[in-house]
Structure 1
Amino acid sequence: MRAARGSRGGMMVAALVLSGCTWLEFSPNQTWVPPAERQLTARSLARLAALAATDDTVRFVLVGDAQRFYDETEAFVRSVNQQRGIDFVLLAGDITDFGLSREMRWVHRRLGRLRVPYLTVVGNHDQLANGRSAYQRVFGPLNYSFVYGATRFVLLDTNSREYGFGGRVPDLGWLRTQLADTAGTRRQVVVCHVPPTDPDFDPALRHPSAALLGASPQLVLHLAGHVHRFSVRQPLPGGVPFLTCYSLRKQRYLILSVWGARRQFQLQTVTYASR
């Protein structure tokens, strides 16, 4: 009888451990996340599609590099929620500092309070350790595009150093296909994390990338993060602005509006307090 009671007790303990396994983190590098926090990019795109643009102007927020700036992220959300006429938010990479799924989830729980959808592009910090797999589990594809308000947004992995400068990242073949698809669009905006002018961008792909972007007649803006500051360059003959944006730590973000078919855009900087 004692042996039987011990056996039942052991089975009960085992059952409790198994039933509670979804509460435990077995490794900081694990990529398992609850179903409600998976494939967030697809969820945001579905929300955006349901909204549908009401006119030719697309107005969106651009910010970069969340990287453990959780207080600043909460203040950012409060500030953006006070803005009028924002269609969506773009986070230009480095959601995390260490490529951990828990960091992605912590940021999502804050950005999920935005009144508009938010979309991300993968950063170099997001690919540390198992970060690439975690990003794909939590958010989705490393390269993707969508059309909103007659504008094609192309979001591209440009973190070449994380791939050993192997000539594969950014995927210029994929980018060429996206830029060539102009059906139903009037403008194109490319978004990435590492700008083409940065040492972390594959030097062997710098010239081919510039040639490809320069040949796109619909390209209005090229947007990036990584450097944690705002800058504007026009490295291509056609004069397309290449912008980098503030990190969340700077407590500033950009509001960008694009419209028309002649590369028209407007830029506004918003400063907010973290407390």
Structure 2
Amino acid sequence: MKRMLFAVLLLAVVSARAEGFRFALMSDLHVTADSLAANDLRHAVDQINATPGLSFVIVSGDFTDYGDDASLRKAKAILDGLKLKYYVTSGNHETKWSESGATAFGRIFGSDRFRFEYGNYLFLGFNTGPVIRMAEGHVAPQDVSWLEKELADYGTERPVFLVTHYPMMKGDVDNWYAVTDAVRKYDIRAFIGGHYHTNRLADYDGIPAFICRSTLRGGEPFGGYSEFEVTADSVIVYERKIGAGPQRWGAYSLKDTYFTADTAGYVRPDFSINARYGRVKETWMTPIGNAIYSSPVLCDGRVYVGDDLGLLNCLDAADGRLLWRFAAKNRIIGTPAAADGTVVFGSADGNIYGIDAKKGKLRWKVETSEAVLGAVTIDGGVAYVGCSDRTFRAIDVRTGREVWTFTGTNGYVETRPLVYDGKVIFGAWDDHLYALDRSDGRLLWSWSDGRRGMHYSPAAVWPVATAGRIFIAAPDRVLSAIDASTGRTLWRTAESTVRETVGLSEDSSKVYSKTMRDSVVCFSTRGDRSEKLWASYVGFGYEIAPSMPQEKDGVVFGSTMNGEVYALDASDGSVLWRHKVDNSLISTVVPLDRNRCLFTSSAGIVGLLEAR
């Protein structure tokens, strides 16, 4: 009798968990060292702790405003005050702006994915990017594979909730369809997340979704959060303002069927441009299997590419065949450089590596105290690279010996340095551009446009220079010309809304930049004022990716955040061809001649395009 009674009680508890439970969701915390956001989060934690009947808490991204380690630790310290177990995944503010290369989040919170079961339900949360590069959200190939495996192991007959920061929709996540297609054959009850700081019901290719408010107070005295109730037949969401009772604002039935496995009728990326320019062929396409955020590097018939799992991949430039891989201990964000038989790259594992270019074996390693996200420039046997430990390094390529170091930056470095006129020039995420003496690393000058704040930093752009002038474009949508000797501003123009992209013509008479809407512009590098030489309507749409225009043999090559590569006539900007590889970020391409270019995609593809 005792055993039967225990079994009955246990069944009752399990049934109650399965058919009636509540949980809290917090999103878009935006904690910084000196803001009201931390207080808003504390109020939310206190109210959740004082609310009876909740089973757990989910936090769906944007823990911080600037993605910095200190703010992440501060947010965690507040969240650790919760009496309930909480589960987390990161947001774009942890991945786009991150001195650790979006690795501190996992180190501080344990992971940016989660999986747990509660009653009959499975909860899965995962990162939606983008990582470091400005672009739409992106679910990395390795995360899609993880999601597919977890769902396959769980089965098709049991209900699932999916948690993401970004809405899984066109215009938010570039490969939203890869996720919705992968999950729709399973019993997905709803997606849950935030990002828009508002309450909204949505559907992701027919799959129900809740988009929830921020913990921030906005224009009200206090902030708030969301509370979900799962009943036998419904999932209901309430807004919980601090100091107020629950206010229901949305629900979905757990009995109704909202979607099927059929994908017909849903919007998908448009590849029709490829038929229009049919002479462009994909000579070879090599799937790496992991997201790629660095550009390809060509040296002696080989292509070198760093990826999101920390692998340096070496491919044959003729056919894309993978020749070897070298494994660092964390992701590679910055573009490598190769010279003198050595490939040099930095990793978020806090090391700078020198690798034998033919054999893929370690030659030397320089340890730093933080992640290395900067692209590498090699000039005269010396590799130049910036790190997140606020140190810029010059390293002997042959031996790995540090030639000199500069410790004067107040932000991490992402860009590829420019070596010009005896100077090493680079920007950092501290709103400054720096010029160092190439021989000893002394600071010669630093430049700022006068506005403070990291979002004004010329940090993602790769500077170019000619005739004593340096050209940059920052997130402020302004093209700037700076005196290379003094750091004095020569001119600035905002007429074309360019963003974080510049490229120099082969004859150095022109500078190219990509605008945020459909076009590429060309300015003269001469004269005391800005002079636009041409503007070309390319038609690539809204655009924010920091991929640099590159000229080769009179053709300007460029790329976009939505998978397109284009070629323009350098003399007047007329469009020669366009080709859509996929729908994800294409980093700065490498032209081989006027008809061919190498590219990498955040979808994990390395390839060679040729206009025949």
1:61 to 24, 29, 32: 24
Give the gaps of 5 or more residues in structure 2.
Answer: 1-12, 32-36, 218-222, 245-612
**Are positions 1:169 and 2:140 aligned together?**
yes
Aligned twin of 2:74: 106
Contact 2:200 2:210 in 1 (8 A): yes
Answer whether contact 1:58 1:149 (CA < 8 A) is retained.
no
Shift of 1:73: 0.8
- Pairs within 5 Å for 1:147-226: 147-160=117-130, 162=132, 169=140, 171-182=143-154, 186-197=158-169, 199-202=171-174, 205-216=175-186, 218-226=187-195
Matched AA of 1:230: N
Q: 1: distance between equivalents of 2:114 and 2:86?
A: 14
- TM-superposition CA deviations, 1:15-51 (whole Å, max 9, x none): xxxxxxxxxxxxxxxxxxxxxxxxxxxxxxxxxxxxx
Partner of 1:144: 114
CA distance in 1, matches of 2:214, 2:168: 18
2:40 matched residue in structure 1: 72
Match of 2:40, SS state, is helix
* Worse-superposed segment, 70-79 or 248-257: 248-257
Give secondary structure in 2 for the equivalent of 1:126.
helix
Quick one: which amino acid aligns to residue 223 of structure 1? I
Shift of 1:125: 1.0
> Which deviations, in whole Å up to 9, do the C-alpha atoms of 1:127-148 show, x marking residues without a partner?
2221512111101222331212
Structure that is richer in strand per residue: 2
Cα shift at 1:213 = 2.9
Instruction: List per-residue Cα deviations over 1:106-131 (Å, max 9, x = no partner).
Output: 11221211121122111111122215
**C-alpha distance in 2 between matches for 1:241 and 1:166:** 19
Inter-partner Cα distance in structure 1 for 2:65 and 2:44 = 18
The amino acid of 2:22's aligned partner reads R
Structure 2 residue 228 is the aligned partner of structure 1 residue 266: no
> Counterpart in 1 of 2:105?
135
In structure 2, the CA distance between the partners of 1:112 and 1:209, relative to structure 1 (3 Å rule), is same
Higher mean alpha-carbon deviation, 183-192 vs 62-71, is at 183-192
Q: Amino acid of the residue matched to residue 197 of structure 1? A: M
Q: Number of aligned residue pairs: give it.
A: 216
8 A contact 1:101–1:131 mirrored in 2: no
The answer as to whether partners of 1:150 and 1:185 remain within 8 angstroms in 2 is no
**Superposition CA RMSD, Å:** 2.7
Letter in 2 for 1:169: A
* Amino acid aligned to 1:133: T
TM-fit CA distance, 1:207? 2.2
State the Cα distance separating 1:168 from its structure 2 match.
5.7
Of 69, 85, 92, which residue of structure 2 is paired with 1:124? Answer: 92
Structure 1, unaligned stretches of length 5 or more? Answer: 1-51
Q: State the structure with more CA Rg.
A: 2
| SS of residue in 2 equivalent to 1:211 | helix
Contact 1:99/1:125 (<8 A) preserved: yes
Matches of 2:227 and 2:119, distance apart in 1: 16
Question: In 1, Cα distance between the equivalents of 2:93 and 2:212?
Answer: 17
Distance change (3 Å), C-alpha of 1:79 and 1:168? closer
Structure with greater proportional helix content: 1
Of 83-92 and 125-134, more deviation after overlay is shown by 125-134
List per-residue Cα deviations over 1:217-251 (Å, max 9, x = no partner). Answer: x21110122111111112434xx421111111031
Q: 8 Å contact 1:99–1:129 — kept in the other structure?
A: yes
Letter in 2 for 1:228: H
How many Å apart are 1:259 and its aligned residue?
4.5
* 1: CA distance, partners of 2:118 / 2:204: 27
Q: Report the Cα distance in structure 2 between the residues aligned to 1:226 and 1:233, rounded to whole angstroms.
A: 13
Contact 2:137 2:166 in 1 (8 A): no
Q: Match for 1:226: what amino acid?
A: H
Deviation string 1:75-103 (CA, Å, 9 cap, x unpaired) is 11121112111111111101111222211
Give the TM-score, by structure 2 length.
0.33
Query: How far is 1:74 from its partner?
Result: 1.1
Contact 1:100-1:131 at 8 Å conserved across structures: no
DSSP 3-state at the match of 2:103 = helix
Aligned partners of 1:157, 1:175: CA distance in 2, in Å? 11
Report the alpha carbon displacement of residue 257 of structure 1 after superposing the two structures with TM.
2.1
Distance 1:78 1:143, change over 3 A: closer
**Cα pair 2:28 2:195 within 8 Å, conserved:** yes
TM-score scaled to structure 1, two decimals? 0.70
Structure 1 distance, partners of 2:118, 2:72, is 25
**1:64 partner amino acid:** S
CA distance in 1, matches of 2:162, 2:229: 14
Letter in 2 for 1:179: L
- Choose the corresponding residue for 1:95, options 53, 63, 67: 63
Change (3 A) 1:100 1:198: farther
Distance in 2 between residues matched to 1:122 and 1:208, nearest whole Å: 19
1:253 aligned residue: 225
Task: Give the corresponding residue for 2:357.
Answer: none
Change (3 A) 1:111 1:185: farther
Q: What is the CA distance between 1:150 and its match in structure 2?
A: 2.2
Q: Does structure 2 retain, via aligned residues, the 8 Å contact 1:75–1:273?
A: no
Equivalent residue for 2:199, pick from 203, 215, 230: 230
Q: What residue number does 1:24 align with?
A: none
